[in-house]
Chain A
């Protein structure tokens, strides 16, 4: 494999990893702070993608559609929280799983009814189209670079908020001892709502920036939700730093693995066998990584302190 290809794959992997981080961050925060297991988090990613599709169709401009989609994603997240999820915080995890499973079924079907079962796509916004010459042989799409930049910026912003602001302090305190935070006079309901809204918006944002790159289709959030779970397990539940490290790791390994596995297998098997085993192995790589982490560090790479599952 040439160095150029390797670099491109690394950039793609980084980009995929940052996307995963946006989703996993919300999931792990919501779980860490509220002990709420939200299967419907992946659906927010799908909602984001459909929103940007609808709003770019309406306004004709990605730049205009972006804030509208973000606000709508936030509104939908808060609506779900108000209508359903807040009744579930004190319930056993099994109830939370069932109810959020019901939401997934509903929203996936709704997307199918409103937008049709086929895959949709939107154009890369004009001001971010084209490619940049990175090295002599390496041209890389501007949009993908932009998503890497934005993803990193959001990650840093999130770190800073959680480490240095009052609300971040409350989130950290809430994830270890919510009763104590409530006893000290903090409106925990409000705190939950803020965390939930931010989480939903981050997932929606991931869907928005993924829309020009990947296909938009009903159920697109389900697979990414499961990968986000893998990320959280590897990183340690409730830990933003862990989610970041794990998301980048998973993004890189998955992307590199898919292009290398077949070549690697042909070193051991014949070409036809390698063509079969390679892709299968590539799609299993991240799960194998997860299993390995579980054996050596059952609590994840960077476990959050004091989170009780």
Chain B
């Protein structure tokens, strides 16, 4: 546990210090890359809550990023610019969508759950493509962006960087707290032995549903920030391939570890950046690389750093 916190602290200290160093090497581009990586990391940590701790493999998590992004974009278009209000709206809408789809999906488990979350994710994706008033397939370019208390500090550059970093830190700490709490324990108990947890009197479906909704809300927030960063939103934000990428991040990093999900997300963003600069058809490398990693590197990146029993909170 202490080791987890130390590695986490080291990561966040680095992220905090980087903007001070980056201008020296004149790298706006790197800052953008880091923001992208942190946004993916927020979503990946939330997914790890349900996959790593809850044992629920969802292949539709990117849909909630989309729900968050579209909720915020539509609210922006109708004139609401305060980011805290947008945040509240995003949380409310994502929670509602997750509550409905989660309650249905959790009537099953295992592979059925995976297929159903994938199907619901796809349904949400098609809903976005049919929003003709908001760009349909092509997406929506935003002419105004969210403000914080009327100031444009969170619209780009360092202001946005630190806002995203703060959100990432809050996510990390929040999910960490959940892992330590009684709620987290029940969640992991239900993952390891559902019958036993149920016999002990825990309504495990309700626990799972709450975890599912929390994870969806966090993903929704990352969607809101992705919209703010890209100044654009399109259905592409919610494709099932993005859900796949999130799973890759979580598994590469090592299940049930915040640092793992975080590093996994950074690894994906950096690798895509590096591979795609080397080769336009970089997916020809990325695909087989995944297969090789699955076949030969169980346990993920985090295991390489901290060899210990898997799945601890």
Contacts and interface: CB of A to CB of B under 8 A. Distances in A.
Contacts of A280: 126-127, 130-131
A93 B294 contact: no
Given A101-B247, A109-B283, A109-B284, A298 B108 contact: yes
Given A37-B111, A37-B114, A102-B289, A94 B51 contact: yes
Interface in B92-112: 104-105, 107-112
B10 interface: no
A191 to B, nearest CB: 21
Given A109-B287, A233-B119, A95 B294 contact: yes
A98 B240 contact: no
Place the interface of chain B in its size category: 35 or more
B37 interface: no
B150 interface: no
A294 B107 contact: yes
B97 to A, nearest CB: 13
A102 to B, nearest CB: 3
Interface stretch (A14-22, A203-211, A222-230): A222-230
Interface in A107-144: 107-110, 112-113
B288 A94 contact: no
Contact of A233 (B112, B126, B130): B112
A213 B298 CA distance: 43
B127 A309 contact: no
A287 B294 CA distance: 31
Interface in B277-309: 281, 283-284, 286-291, 293-295, 298
Give the residue among B57, B123, B293 with the most A Cβ atoms within 10 A: B123
Contacts of A109: 281, 283-284, 287
A87 interface: yes
A98 B112 CA distance: 16
A279 B283 CA distance: 33
A15 B287 CA distance: 33
Given A106-B287, A113-B284, A98 B251 contact: yes
B115 interface: yes
B114 A97 contact: yes
B147 interface: no
A295 B107 contact: yes
B118 A290 contact: no
Given A97-B57, A97-B59, A294-B104, A230 B130 contact: no
A101 B116 contact: no
B270 to A, nearest CB: 17
Contacts of A106: 283-284, 286-288, 291
A230 B116 CA distance: 7
Interface string B125-161: 0110011110000000000000000000000000000
Contacts of B248: 98, 101
Contact of A287 (B107, B123, B287, B295): B123
Contacts, number: 127
Given A226-B118, A233-B116, A276-B132, A97 B247 contact: yes
Contact of B247 (A31, A98, A223, A283): A98
B167 interface: no
Nearest to A292: B104
Contacts of B298: 95
Given A98-B251, A109-B283, A233 B115 contact: yes
Nearest to B115: A229
Given A226-B118, A230-B119, A309-B109, A84 B284 contact: no
Interface string B250-280: 0100010000000000000000000000000
Contacts of B12: none
A79 interface: no
Nearest to B298: A95
A76 interface: no
Contacts of A37: 111, 114
A287 B116 CA distance: 9
B32 interface: no
B55 to A, nearest CB: 9
A34 to B, nearest CB: 12
B290 A102 contact: yes
B47 to A, nearest CB: 12
Contacts of A87: 295
17 contacts: A94-B51, A98-B290, A99-B291, A101-B244, A102-B288, A103-B287, A103-B291, A105-B287, A106-B287, A106-B291, A109-B284, A233-B112, A276-B130, A280-B127, A280-B130, A295-B107, A298-B107
Interface of B: 51, 57, 59, 104-105, 107-112, 114-116, 118-120, 122-123, 126-127, 130-133, 240-241, 244, 247-248, 251, 255, 281, 283-284, 286-291, 293-295, 298
